[in-house]
Chains A and B, each alone.
Chain A
């Protein structure tokens, strides 16, 4: 369902015409456009946005955890076009079981670290990612701190003392 506020928007209209059902819904919040995209189509949509609508950079990629709701995760793409001075927010909904979505690194190289961060802190896997490793937490860390079921005080961590 595309919100009435977005019916006149040329960018949204063009995307809906092109992708149809893949644009699941759209809203306007605080004058900022939010579009929900079918996860399997995200790279395709981003590619078109870059090539035909001058979205030359992904400002950031992050995620939301709606635990215990299902679909649990939302991966959020904050896109920006310097040329058109325009911002757009794309979202994909992912289930809590093995959340996986294709990486947009092939579209914007800069998504690399942002997706690594989401992988590290939320446990969302990005397929086709060139270098999917933890970025903030130590490599041997267990769990994903920004998930809502991860306690704020952290899990007990022994700093390797028990191995000695």
Chain B
């Protein structure tokens, strides 16, 4: 009985499908892949596990922000700039405001400049924290994400105190700040500065001696530095390749020449070096913030330019001129003299540039955003070629791109 039930299995060798070395497979990665952090599509051509060709496809998050800018007044553009790079909104606010201020030829009072520097550096930490959490998450170090999110929460509270918004701050305005510091604002920044250095040490303890983290990052994602530059890569990516170019040092803006800080560089030019550079950058940002906090000047927080800056409520109710200016600015917008300017700042991701062209009206003729993620992603193909599929995830994480920043 049992004999009849037992099937006789003859193991024949499976006829080999031509596993010839020339056969390649095309794999579609994204646009909804979790490690693309948004909507990036990468078409991978594979030879086994090796990436032969990687073609990034962008544009899934294109919202026509540059076109919209042309229909809004100069002040109305500021909220749009938040939405370009939603992890470094204050950097975008700052760059746009600096460009328009240059066109208008107005000087911003010291208190506003110092506050801008302080909060933009806080933004850098914010962005790097999100990068660290998600990058480590991609590599399997899940707990990093929780720690980073926890500490980022403290920092978002500070943004909320200052601007009323956690993410879409729009706190910097043409000619200064939207509001003066809130009560307790500086104290909370101080508390954060005291609290955060030990946290960075904690992150490093978790990752630096982690063999999986090291194996997956060291020697991965290397591209010759000349190629990187020509491809338009900027920021921590090229600083990890040994080029100490940082707009804060080389083309100082918004008073950065008054602050003491180092530009961290590495020479290994791999995913691990980029991690080290960004960790060090967070420490330097804290250093700048400490100086800004200690030297925070008293005085006005908006430029003395009645035709540009909205008057204070109190003045508006008591002075006729202030009321007229308020009416003109709100109904017509600010008229900016014809001209064009290209303003560069160092965003957490690299060179952020606003190319603003004015034709003399109250709406910009053209606002072009040279966003760092756009340039960085361009090098993704070169970076992934020859590596393994899993290295693609590591390389993408090390780029720290934001798709809103890429597609605009």
Contacts and interface: CB of A to CB of B under 8 A. Distances in A.
Interface size class of A (residues with CB under 8 A): 20 to 34
A146 interface: yes
B405 to A, nearest CB: 13
Contacts of B342: 32, 78, 87, 89
A48 interface: no
A64 B365 contact: yes
A62 B245 contact: no
Given A62-B355, A82-B243, A110-B232, A56 B339 contact: no
Contacts, number: 85
Contacts of A109: 227, 230-231
B62 interface: yes
Interface stretch (B3-11, B64-72, B185-193, B257-265): B64-72
B341 interface: yes
A145 B375 CA distance: 21
A152 B231 CA distance: 32
Interface string A92-123: 00000000000000001110111000000100
Interface of A: 29-30, 32, 34, 56-60, 62, 64-65, 76, 78, 82, 85, 87, 89, 108-110, 112-114, 121, 134-137, 145-146, 150, 152
Interface of B: 58-59, 62, 64, 66-68, 70-71, 102-103, 226-227, 229-233, 243, 245, 250-251, 339-342, 344, 351, 353, 355, 357, 365-366, 368, 370, 374-375, 378, 407
Contacts of B68: 152
Contact of A29 (B66, B340, B366, B407): B340
26 contacts: A29-B340, A30-B103, A56-B229, A56-B230, A57-B229, A58-B232, A59-B232, A59-B351, A59-B370, A62-B355, A62-B368, A64-B365, A64-B366, A76-B355, A87-B251, A110-B230, A110-B231, A110-B233, A113-B232, A121-B66, A134-B59, A135-B58, A136-B62, A136-B407, A137-B59, A146-B67
A30 B355 contact: no
Contacts of A32: 341-342
A135 B229 CA distance: 21
Contacts of A150: 67
A85 B251 contact: yes
Given A60-B353, A110-B375, A135-B58, A145 B231 contact: no
A121 B366 CA distance: 13
A110 B378 contact: yes
B242 to A, nearest CB: 12
Contact of B378 (A29, A78, A89, A113): A113
Q: Is the contact region of chain A dominated by helix, strand, or loop, or is it mixed? A: mixed
B232 A145 contact: no
A74 to B, nearest CB: 9
Contacts of A113: 232, 374, 378
Nearest to A30: B341
Contact of B59 (A56, A65, A135): A135
A75 to B, nearest CB: 12
A150 B231 CA distance: 31
A60 B368 contact: yes
A67 to B, nearest CB: 11
Contact of B67 (A56, A64, A112, A145): A145
A137 B365 CA distance: 22
Query: Lowest 8 A-B CB distances belong to which pairs?
Result: A110-B232, A60-B370, A136-B62, A110-B231, A136-B59, A62-B368, A30-B341, A57-B229
Contacts of B232: 57-60, 108, 110, 113-114
A56 B374 contact: no
Contacts of A121: 66
Given A56-B226, A60-B375, A109-B227, 17 more contacts: A30-B339, A30-B341, A34-B340, A56-B229, A59-B351, A62-B355, A64-B357, A87-B251, A87-B342, A110-B230, A110-B231, A110-B232, A121-B66, A136-B62, A146-B67, A152-B68, A152-B71
Contacts of B226: 56
B67 A137 contact: no
B383 to A, nearest CB: 13
A82 B375 contact: no
A115 B192 CA distance: 43
Nearest to A113: B378
B210 to A, nearest CB: 34
A144 to B, nearest CB: 11
Contacts of B245: 82
A60 B344 CA distance: 12
A105 to B, nearest CB: 10
Contacts of B102: 30
Given A64-B365, A108-B230, A109-B231, A137 B62 contact: yes
Among B70, B245, B342, B374, chain A packs the most CB atoms within 10 A around the CB of B342
